[in-house]
Structure 1
Amino acid sequence: MSALFRLDGQTALVTGASRGLGKAIALALASSGARVICSSSTVEGAADTVAAIRGQGGDAIAVAADLADEASVRALAAAAIGWQGQVDILVNCGGTIFRAPAVEFPMQQWRQNLAVNLDAAFLLCQLVGEGMIKRGQGKIINIASMLSYSGGITVPAYTASKHAIAGLTKALANEWAQYGLNINAIAPGYFKTDNTFALQQNPERNAQILARLPAGRWGEPEDLTGAVVFLASNASNYVNGHVLAVDGGWLAR
């Protein structure tokens, strides 16, 4: 059974791999045998992740990319494919968030959030997915959010992008499952990351969140890794177009 979850000989591209969820995902894929391309806004940003993977006997490289810039995203895809000749697993984890009341929300930040969280994910799916389709196999995992289900507070652009990620995941599965690809998403609950730091530090919101969480705690990045390895491996070969909530029971409450 454990062989179902092995990723030996496969190459994975993980965006947002410098810290938090992306770093934990990259390490988990490497632990299961994958070679990992760790993408961050700077090469130095993913250096610790690469060092950690190599330290555990794995193989990894760092590639810099500005996910808000189409040319940079295209260059990232080309570099990722060029490293080993193909990308077998794509994890779109890189993201950004901006908080402001909707009536005051700057259009520049709206465009930035949509470009990083949605446009870059679609473009990487398109560029990497083309090779997967030709080979008749591939795994794409998009990182959605609890805000793929609800509206949130003062994060309209992030919410719009994460609703769109859930829809995009289903749309691509409808088109590409016939070619042997698995396109799924993970919707993390409330995890301890930079993006949620403001919520963690807000006594009122922190108390509200913990009161609703059946697990009684915020998630740690490592809590996401089992779901990622499952969706990246042969164990999920008949799972497609699914958004998997890893949320400590948040949606059940």
Structure 2
Amino acid sequence: MGSDTDFTGKRVLVVGGSSGIGNGIAHAFLERGALVHVWGTRDSAADYDPADGSDLNGLGYTQVDVGNPEAIAAAPDPFADGALDVLVLSQGAVVYRRGEFERDGWDKVMAVNLDSVMDCARKFRAALAATQGSIIVVSSISGLKANIGNPAYAASKAGAISLTKTLGQAFAADGIRVNGLAPGLVDTKLTKVTTQHPDRLAGAIAAIPQRRMGTPADMAGAAIFLASPLASYVTGHTLVVDGGLSL
């Protein structure tokens, strides 16, 4: 393992790191020597089911409802010394059955997928400035196109991509690099509406040039790169990681 991807002793917080893409990213940093803490929605780490793609072994855990800005503000520092080197914002919500066309569904998705990104970045800006750290915003290729039935999801992810650019510019003076990654179809609990229906899944995979879904490990590789010295001159950029789906 090259030194450029050695995170030994680095402190990493993965918001939304209790399952799916965030969990894969959390373990990628852990495997490279980092101290990793995750935020999730359930009372404790023991409340997560490994069958849902949750592995909290070796990870610190705090319950934080990021849809509530007061909860973000009140959340304790993830590490006792208050320091932080990498902030990964992988929180996500979606409402199916056209629920995002209604105000409650719209507000829920926007609060988690967009508002909380800004709230978390604001909360940890000083800590990241002190370590010359980085932020990684997990958006989606849905932010680059229409998403049938999910207007809030698409709009929130487009907003996250734009916010990554603006924060990249604004935080650069603090020595903080802000970048993002935009996944395509990844097998997580949020995509079960597709992955658990064979005909729908077959159609989705047929549209992907690489002819497979992405994995949390695929997303983790991009996150490791963006947080590493290999990306030291990359700022405000969202890396599309979708097997060619958006081409």
Does TM, scored on the shorter chain, surpass 0.5? yes
SS in 2 for 1:37: strand
Once the two structures are TM-superposed, the CA of residue 233 in structure 1 deviates from its matched residue by 1.5
Alpha-carbon distance between aligned partners in 2 of 1:46 and 1:94, rounded to the nearest angstrom: 16
Residue 9 of structure 2 is aligned to residue 9 of structure 1: yes
Alpha-carbon distance between aligned partners in 2 of 1:237 and 1:70, rounded to the nearest angstrom: 31
The aligned counterpart of 1:90 is 87
Letter in 2 for 1:8: T
> Is the 8 Å Cα contact of residues 83 and 131 (structure 2) preserved in structure 1?
no
> Is the 8 Å Cα contact of residues 15 and 39 (structure 2) preserved in structure 1?
yes
SS in 2 for 1:79: coil
Residues 100-148 of structure 1: CA deviation (Å, up to 9, x unaligned): 338x822111111011111111111111112223x26111000010111
SS in 1 for 2:180: strand
The aligned counterpart of 1:79 is 77
Aligned CA-pair RMSD: 1.9
Alpha-carbon distance between aligned partners in 1 of 2:158 and 2:246, rounded to the nearest angstrom: 15
Letter in 2 for 1:188: P
Residue 173 of structure 2 is aligned to residue 167 of structure 1: no
Letter in 2 for 1:5: T
Residue 126 of structure 2 is aligned to residue 130 of structure 1: yes
The aligned counterpart of 2:24 is 24
Of 55, 61, 68, 1:49 maps to 55
Residues 46-91 of structure 1: CA deviation (Å, up to 9, x unaligned): 696332x3xxxxxx31111011111111123x332x5232111000
Q: Which moved more, 1:24-33 or 1:195-204?
A: 195-204
Once the two structures are TM-superposed, the CA of residue 222 in structure 1 deviates from its matched residue by 1.4
Alpha-carbon distance between aligned partners in 2 of 1:25 and 1:96, rounded to the nearest angstrom: 18
Residues 138-174 of structure 1: CA deviation (Å, up to 9, x unaligned): 1100001011101111001111110000000000011
Alpha-carbon distance between aligned partners in 1 of 2:28 and 2:127, rounded to the nearest angstrom: 24
The aligned counterpart of 2:176 is 181
Alpha-carbon distance between aligned partners in 1 of 2:48 and 2:189, rounded to the nearest angstrom: 15
Percent same amino acid among aligned pairs?
A: 32
Alpha-carbon distance between aligned partners in 2 of 1:33 and 1:238, rounded to the nearest angstrom: 23
The aligned counterpart of 2:66 is 67
Alpha-carbon distance between aligned partners in 1 of 2:48 and 2:172, rounded to the nearest angstrom: 32
Show the 5 A alignment for 1:93-132: 93-101=90-98, 105-132=101-128
Once the two structures are TM-superposed, the CA of residue 204 in structure 1 deviates from its matched residue by 4.7
Alpha-carbon distance between aligned partners in 2 of 1:87 and 1:136, rounded to the nearest angstrom: 7
Alpha-carbon distance between aligned partners in 2 of 1:210 and 1:75, rounded to the nearest angstrom: 42
What is the TM-score normalised by the length of structure 1? 0.89
Residues 6-55 of structure 1: CA deviation (Å, up to 9, x unaligned): 1112111101112111111110011111111111102234696332x3xx
Once the two structures are TM-superposed, the CA of residue 225 in structure 1 deviates from its matched residue by 1.5
Q: Which moved more, 1:112-121 or 1:194-203?
A: 194-203
SS in 1 for 2:27: helix
Alpha-carbon distance between aligned partners in 2 of 1:176 and 1:98, rounded to the nearest angstrom: 32
The verdict on how the C-alpha distance between 1:168 and 1:112 changes in structure 2, with shifts beyond 3 A counting, is: same
Runs of 5+ in structure 1 lacking a partner?
54-59
SS in 2 for 1:83: coil
Higher helix share: 1
Q: Which moved more, 1:145-154 or 1:36-45?
A: 36-45
SS in 1 for 2:61: strand
Runs of 5+ in structure 2 lacking a partner?
none
Letter in 1 for 2:25: I
> Is the 8 Å Cα contact of residues 11 and 36 (structure 1) preserved in structure 2?
yes
SS in 2 for 1:50: coil
